[in-house]
Amino acid sequence: MANLLQTGSTWLNQQREAHMSTTVTYCRGLATATMTATQAATATNVVDDSGVEVRGQVDDWIISVAEMILHDSPAYPQEGDEIRETNGNLEFVFAVTKGPDGKEWRYTDAYRQTMRIHTKRTAIN
């Protein structure tokens, strides 16, 4: 018998890709891959040395694990990788960085079909 929750998770991922995503280029050095990604955000709260809470956000990208292929092999995000999004005649560059949890990425579902990659925008070209 098929796992109903896994089937539903797969369907939701397909809907996200079809209706909530854009095409981006994932870059690591000279290796690049074109993939479908959904932009999201993670709120961050940091207390500085004087006890003041500073709020911000990390730009996140949700990507199917199956699309994370670099050099013909499955890959996982690393700090310093880039995600490039073209919108009209502008290119937005996002560098993979550690999120509030101290990691560059995490799975977004129990079946490890999608990952959430933490980034910060570094350039608009």
Q: Are residues 26 and 32 in contact, defined by beta-carbon separation less than 8 angstroms?
A: yes
CB count in 10 Å sphere of residue 18: 9
Q: What is the pLDDT of residue 2?
A: 67
Residue 98, helix vs strand vs coil: coil
Report the chain (125 residues): mean pLDDT per 10 consecutive residues. Answer: 80 83 94 94 79 83 94 94 95 92 91 93 91
Which domain covers residue 103, as residue numbers? 4-124
* The total number of structural domains that make up the chain: 1
Query: What is the SS3 string spanning 7-28?
Result: HHHHHHHHHHHHHCCEEEEEEE
